[in-house]
Amino acid sequence: MQEKIEKILEEARERIHEAKELKELDEVRVAILGKKGKITEIFKAMSSLSKEEKKQIGPAANKARNEIEKRISQRLAELKERAKEIQFEKETIDVTEPGKKFSLGVKHPITQTIEEISQIFMSMGYSIAEGPQVETVFNAFDALNSPKNHPSRDLTDTFYINENICLRPHTSSVQIRTLQSQKPPIKVISPGRCFRCDTPDATHSPMFHQVEGLIVDEGITMADLKGTLDTMAKRLFGAATKTKFRPHHFPFTEPSAEMDVSCFKCGGKGCNVCKGSGWLEILGCGMVHPKVLEVGGIDTEKYTGFAFGMGVERIAMLKYGVDDIRLFYENDMRFIDQFK
Ligand code: PHE
């Protein structure tokens, strides 16, 4: 029996030493110290021994069991320590590793142009008004003093949903919505999408953008209109820019004008951008027609106002030298990436 104990001890020492995982170590513990373990078997077998033998085997078995228990707990501590080290190693961050590259997108040039124009007017105290792209014919035409026979109302010019609803052909309909919902002093711009039955070519698109402007207050004159739009032109195209107002006609303004800016490329000498004239047509504008103010219930004896509307694509094309409007809608990244 003495020999058997020696053998168990030897086996235990070896297996404990070689255990690489907590689970393996536990298996050794069960096999040796467990209910049916080898040392336990020795204790059980002792009942059949003589008194003399018991005196010898008892202490030897106890000693063996103590040693095994001690070794197991030592090994357990070692394995736990190692597991921690492994975890630490796994969790180390290599601060020298290069970061993941991600490419930053770019705002669409039309968005950029709208934001630039909006910034200019916001710095002059204008706020932004919004209106729907699907609009009543009343807001798009009638309320803007457009006679029933005005060519722009034709089916060949405007997209109609039905008799009373259309896709707005200009942002001027937001003038009506603003006049009906705000009281003077009114000072708004309204950027947005518009639609007209145009066949796409280098300068036309059935969908395009405008920025509308409207100001109504006491004592507003044509001089305010000219000062405001001249300031905008200088901010948008450079401080040396000159402006010129040509008489024009719009049903909703009286008097009406179109504003030209001196060509920012040649400074007015004449080049390919301005087609030799030295001037670029930028927007339509005028003093708000009293009939339009009346739609908003505004006292036309007390208040006057001016309004303007400009094509965003046209301005972006001039500013960035884009020669075909369709490029804006193709979403070709090689084009859009140039506006970083
Ligand atoms: N709505 C006009 C257009 O689309 C522009 C405009 C707006 C003119 C406001 C005068 C006043 O051409």
pTM reported for the whole predicted model: 0.72
CA of 57 to the centre of ligand 1 (A): 112
Quote the CA–CA distance of 315 and 299 in Å, as a whole number. Answer: 35
pLDDT tier at 207, thresholds 50, 70, 90 = very high
Side chain identity, residue 331: N
Average pLDDT over residues 61-65: 89
Quote the CA–CA distance of 124 and 83 in Å, as a whole number. Answer: 67
Nearest Cα neighbor of 64 from 39, 41, 27 is 39
Phi, psi of 167 (to 5 degrees): -80, 125
Tally of CB atoms within 10 A around 77: 10
DSSP letters along 63-107, please? HHHHHHHHHHHHHHHHHHHHHHHHHHHHH---TTSPPPP------
Mutational test site, ligand 1, from 146, 172, 177, 289, max ligand atoms within 8 Å of CB = 172
CA of 257 to the centre of ligand 1 (A): 10
Ligand 1: nearest atom to the Cα of 214: 9
Share of the chain above pLDDT 90, in %: 72
151 exposed, middle or buried (CB, 10 Å; 0-12, 13-18, 19+)?
Answer: exposed
Confidence at residue 52, expressed as pLDDT on a 0 to 100 scale: 87
Mutational test site, ligand 1, from 195, 216, 246, 250, max ligand atoms within 8 Å of CB = 250
Ligand 1: nearest atom to the Cα of 285: 10
Quote the CA–CA distance of 70 and 72 in Å, as a whole number. Answer: 5
C-alpha pair distances (Å), 266 with each of 229, 241, 245, 273, 274: 21, 11, 20, 8, 8
Q: Does residue 180 surpass a pLDDT of 90?
A: yes
Mutational test site, ligand 1, from 246, 252, 256, 282, max ligand atoms within 8 Å of CB = 252
Nearest Cα neighbor of 217 from 139, 126, 128, 285 is 126
Do residues 159 and 167 lie in contact, with contact meaning Cβ atoms separated by under 8 Å? Answer: yes
Tally of CB atoms within 10 A around 243: 18
Q: Does residue 281 surpass a pLDDT of 90?
A: yes
Q: Given the DSSP bridges, would you call strands 134-136 and 165-167 parallel, antiparallel or unpaired?
A: antiparallel
Nearest Cα neighbor of 254 from 217, 296, 285 is 285
Quote the CA–CA distance of 123 and 244 in Å, as a whole number. Answer: 23
Do residues 312 and 213 lie in contact, with contact meaning Cβ atoms separated by under 8 Å? Answer: no
pLDDT digits (tens, 9 = 90+) for 107-129: 999 999 999 999 999 999 999 99
Quote the CA–CA distance of 187 and 222 in Å, as a whole number. Answer: 15
pLDDT digits (tens, 9 = 90+) for 282-333: 999 999 999 999 999 999 999 999 999 999 999 999 999 899 999 999 989 9
Q: Does residue 264 surpass a pLDDT of 90?
A: no
Q: Does residue 102 surpass a pLDDT of 90?
A: no
Return the bridge partners of 110, or none: none
Reading the block at residue 280, the tokens are 């670029």
CA-proximal residue: ligand 1, atom 7 (nearest): 309
Confidence at residue 171, expressed as pLDDT on a 0 to 100 scale: 98
Do residues 22 and 83 lie in contact, with contact meaning Cβ atoms separated by under 8 Å? Answer: yes
Q: Which residue is it, tokens 């009506």?
A: 176
Quote the CA–CA distance of 265 and 268 in Å, as a whole number. Answer: 8
CA-proximal residue: ligand 1, atom 12 (nearest): 284
Confidence at residue 332, expressed as pLDDT on a 0 to 100 scale: 93
- Residues with C-beta less than 6 Å from any ligand 1 atom: 170, 172, 212, 250, 253, 284-286, 307-309
Tally of CB atoms within 10 A around 197: 14
